[in-house]
Structure 1
Amino acid sequence: MTKMTQPRIALIAHDKKKDDMITLAAEYLEFLKGCTLSATGTTGGRLHNELGLKVERKHSGPVGGDLQIGAQLVNGEIDCVIFLRDPMTPQPHEPDINALVRACDVHNIACATNLSTARLVLNQLMISRAGAA
């Protein structure tokens, strides 16, 4: 993460995980308000409409949103990815999903793919931010 600027977080959720994303974001609402957020289409819309978060919305995942976030990541514009994946439902854009997760690995960017790891990452970001303040 850049030297204590606002954390830059990408938020993505498959259809069956969007409610979980809203619940997670509500738990960390005050922290997330101080972050620069990017999200895929519907997820970003819900985060904005339901929680009032300022979110840079990309396309929906199946039409290129995952790739847009991947491009931000490669350009050094994302510090971590919260990607609540649905492992039980086949995704038509699975190659894009794999490319995004691979880009996280290649560029050493934290990528949380379930609620447990998402909470760990967000908690650590909060601790790091508080320690730098």
Structure 2
Amino acid sequence: MLKSKPKNIALIAHDLKKRSLATWVFNNQTKLKRHNILATATTGGIIQKHCPQLRIRVTKSGPLGGDQQIGAMIADDGIDLLIFFTDPLSPHPHDVDVKALSRLAVVYDVPMACSGATADLIAASGYLD
């Protein structure tokens, strides 16, 4: 089976979900290491500590424009997969940015996982092979 070209994967997590995302990335690092990983600043730093062998390009922190930077990349066809572990039970001062990012992923038909279960399904689907 031929491997597809490397994908551009954006990783974002709300504060209470950052550890869950870092654990998911750790458990899937074999599949992820051949792809281009992009993350918002704080999320990227936490993931880098758990998976130092992964090269992660970081944007600004989400509340400081990182979500919008990733949204712009989606609009420019620069993101192939968005993994955004959201926390629907906590308030987020930049909620409008989060909604805009989710809307762009839907508008541009970018696969998006908002939880570990959905991210597991994408990983198991062969999309990352």
TM-score range, shorter chain: over 0.9
Alignment-derived partner of residue 112 in structure 2: 111
Q: 1:79-110: per-residue Cα shift (whole Å, max 9, x none)?
A: 01000000000100000000000001100011
Residue of structure 2 equivalent to 1:100: 101
Query: How does 1:41-80 map onto structure 2 within 5 Å?
Result: 41-52=41-52, 53-80=54-81
SS of the aligned residue for 1:20 comes to: helix
Aligned mates of 1:111, 1:35 — CA distance in 2: 16
With structure 1 as the length reference, what TM-score do the two structures score? Answer: 0.90
**SS of alignment partner, residue 12 of structure 2:** strand
Give the number of aligned pairs: 126
Residue 48 of structure 1 and its aligned partner are, at CA, apart by 1.5
* TM-score normalised over the length of structure 2: 0.92
Matched, 1:26 2:26: yes
Using the alignment, how far apart are the partners of 2:9 and 2:71 within structure 1?
12
Secondary structure of the 1:109 match is coil
- Which amino acid is the alignment partner of residue 100 of structure 2? A
Distance of 2:48 and 2:74 partners within structure 1: 22
Structure 1 gap segments, 5+ residues each: none
Q: Which residue of 1 aligns with 2:17?
A: 17
Deviations 1:7-33 (A, max 9, x none): 211000011001101110011011111
The structural deviation recorded for 1:128 is 4.0
Q: Which moves more between the two structures, 65-74 or 46-55?
A: 46-55
**SS of corresponding position for 1:56:** strand
- How far did residue 47 of structure 1 move? 1.4
Structure 1 residue 129: Cα displacement: 5.2
Q: Which residue of 1 aligns with 2:40?
A: 40
The one-letter code matched in structure 2 to 1:107 is Y
Residue 112 (structure 2) pairs with residue 86 (structure 1): no
User: Which AA in structure 1 matches 2:73?
Assistant: Q
Query: Cα distance, 1:5 vs. partner?
Result: 1.2
The Cα RMSD (Å) is 1.3
User: Aligned AA for 2:43?
Assistant: T
Runs of 4+ residues deviating >6 angstroms: none
1:93 counterpart letter in structure 2: H
Q: Which runs of 5+ in 2 are unaligned?
A: none
Answer yes or no: is the 8 Å Cα contact 2:19–2:46 preserved in 1: no
